[in-house]
């Protein structure tokens, strides 16, 4: 298994291009199931999760062709996917695929909407929390689906087609909003989704669906009104920039010091995280086509943060902020309110010398600590990248194992950091 070796202590200076958002590319790719015509997606990041999803979709009958060179001269332009689901040949999503990537469970809504039936494996366990799917099923049942759980599979049927309904989510869920939204666009009549997630990736999916002929209003708000249509057409859509990658690199610069232009991204996608960085004393300047991040005056100031659904501080940046706060002079607190087990990086950061106390959902970080290089293990995607940030500031050598977690969601991570002066390399093995 590959490992990453970092020699810490170098500031970051230069330009980092931000890729298309993984968490938008996944539902957008799934949306191809809704039409027999071609959906063209631009700026798709080349990531293990996206590649796995395309394998799952091929199984359902989606034909994929890819263009856009990624290596060398073509810079970081994302790939262009042409996805055509002329016929759905199989409405089953098997366990061995869904269990490897939870977002593939979101094929349930579109398959049901288009074919009137679907058999999708329950996703199973997850490292960061229990992550049930009750809200997905509740929403689809409200649209008239008959749902049974059998042998670990969700068996869903709507022989006469789905019917529009009012769905009030008792809790904000990104996945349930994606799933039920994709089902509702082909339901008869009007669906209203209340307390829907407002993450920019939901807006990106809804915008693309509208380009395909769906009729969705209220994009960007927590109430989505959907007038069902009988079929969707082909369309072309560009995946929005990855706000989590943006925030991650901003925090890396804030930790190491230096000045980096994060290119092809926008401050509007992550205001809460940017505000926290500003509160911590990091200089952030929006520029045309990017964000300049500068940290010249020693370490950041401590902050107190609670993770929340958008527009609050994202749980997907919690681990990275924790690594950064080991650099702050004083005590910081981070409360994780979205996932109950998303602190697995704490023990690994402690191996590097961090002083972090855990009490239920609250982490208290005492700084400033001079981290020291060690061998650490990646546990999930965002936890892994927090170890990279810690490694960049630690004295000496840090090696991170199980880096396949990083490959799920960060495109060309080492290259982007190396281009800004970091000493980071991948060790094959």
CB of 24 to ligand EPZ, least distance (A): 8
Instruction: Give the number of other CB atoms < 10 A from CB of residue 399.
Output: 17
Site for ligand EPZ (CB under 6 A): which residue of 76, 81, 153, 339?
339
Q: Active site includes 126?
A: yes
The answer to whether the CB of 41 falls within 8 A of the CB of 78 is no
Q: What is the footprint of ligand EPZ within residues 147-206 (CB under 6 A)?
A: 171, 173-176, 197
Query: Least Å distance between CB 319 and ligand EPZ?
Result: 9
> SS3 string of 137-173?
HHHHHHCCCEEEEECCEEEEECCCCCECCEEECCCCC
Q: Structure tokens of 377?
A: 């293990």
* Contact flag: residue 383 with ligand EPZ (CB under 6 A): no
Rounded to a whole number of angstroms, the minimum distance from the CB of residue 129 to ligand EPZ is 5
- Residue 315 binding ligand EPZ, by CB under 6 A: yes
Applying CB under 6 A, among 79, 245, 264, 316 the residue interacting with ligand EPZ is 316
Cα separation of 177 and 183, whole Å?
10
Question: Rg (Cα) of the chain, in Å, rounded?
Answer: 21
Please give the sequence-ordered ranges of beta strands (E in DSSP) within 160-257, or none if there are none: 166-168, 190-194, 215-217, 223-227, 235-238
Residues 116-145 that bind ligand EPZ (CB under 6 A): 129-136
Residue whose CB is less far from ligand EPZ, 264 or 316: 316
Number of H helices, E strands in the chain: 14, 24
Least distance to ligand EPZ from the beta carbon of 381, Å?
4
Contact indicator for 346, 319 with CB cutoff of 8 Å = no
Shortest distance, position 115 Cβ to ligand EPZ, whole Å: 22
Instruction: Answer yes or no whether residue 102 interacts with ligand EPZ by CB under 6 A.
Output: yes
246 binds ligand EPZ per the rule CB under 6 A: no
Query: Does residue 382 belong to the site contacting ligand EPZ (CB under 6 A)?
Result: yes
Secondary structure letter of residue 179 according to DSSP: H
Residues at the interface with ligand EPZ (CB under 6 A): 23, 26, 102-103, 129-136, 171, 173-176, 197, 315-316, 338-339, 381-382, 409
Residues serving a catalytic function are 126
């Amino acid at each position: 298994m590959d490992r990453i070796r970092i020699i810490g202590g170098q500031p970051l200076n230069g330009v980092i291009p931000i890729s298309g958002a993984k968490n938008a590319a996944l539902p957008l790719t799934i949306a191809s199931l809704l039409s027999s015509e071609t959906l063209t997606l631009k700026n798709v990041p080349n990531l293990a999760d996206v590649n796995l999803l395309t394998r799952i979709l091929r199984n359902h009958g989606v034909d994929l062709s890819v263009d856009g060179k990624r290596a060398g001269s073509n810079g970081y332009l994302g790939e262009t996917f042409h996805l055509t689901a002329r016929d759905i040949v199989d409405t089953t999503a098997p366990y061995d695929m869904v269990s490897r990537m939870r977002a593939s469970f979101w094929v349930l809504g579109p398959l049901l909407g288009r074919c009137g039936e679907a058999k999708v494996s329950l996703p199973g366990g997850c490292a960061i929390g229990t992550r049930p799917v009750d809200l997905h099923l509740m929403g689809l049942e409200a649209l008239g689906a008959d749902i049974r759980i059998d042998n670990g599979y969700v068996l869903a049927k709507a022989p006469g087609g789905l019917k529009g309904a009012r769905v009030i989510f008792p809790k904000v869920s990104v996945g349930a909003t994606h799933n039920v939204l994709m089902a509702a666009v082909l339901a008869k009549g009007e669906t209203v989704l209340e307390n829907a997630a407002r993450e920019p990736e939901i807006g990106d999916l809804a915008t693309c669906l509208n380009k395909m002929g769906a009729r969705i209003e209220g994009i960007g708000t927590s109430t989505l009104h959907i007038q069902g249509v009988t079929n969707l057409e082909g369309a072309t859509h560009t995946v929005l920039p990855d706000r989590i990658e943006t925030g991650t690199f901003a925090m890396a610069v804030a930790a190491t010091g230096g000045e980096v232009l994060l290119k092809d991204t926008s401050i509007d996608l992550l205001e809460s995280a940017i505000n926290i960085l500003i509160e911590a004393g990091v200089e952030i300047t929006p520029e045309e086509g990017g964000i300049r991040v500068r940290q010249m005056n020693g370490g950041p100031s401590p902050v107190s943060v609670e993770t929340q659904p958008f527009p609050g501080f994202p749980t997907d940046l919690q681990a990275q902020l924790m690594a950064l706060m080991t650099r702050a002079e004083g005590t910081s607190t981070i409360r994780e309110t979205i996932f109950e087990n998303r602190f697995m990086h704490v023990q690994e950061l402690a191996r590097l010398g961090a002083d972090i106390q855990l009490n239920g959902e609250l982490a208290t970080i005492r700084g400033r600590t001079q981290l020291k290089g060690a061998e650490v293990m990646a546990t999930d995607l965002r936890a892994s990248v927090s170890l990279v940030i810690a490694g960049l500031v630690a004295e000496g050598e840090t090696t991170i194992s199980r880096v396949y977690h990083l490959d799920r969601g960060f495109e060309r991570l080492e290259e982007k950091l190396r281009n800004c002066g970091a000493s980071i390399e991948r060790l094959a093995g």
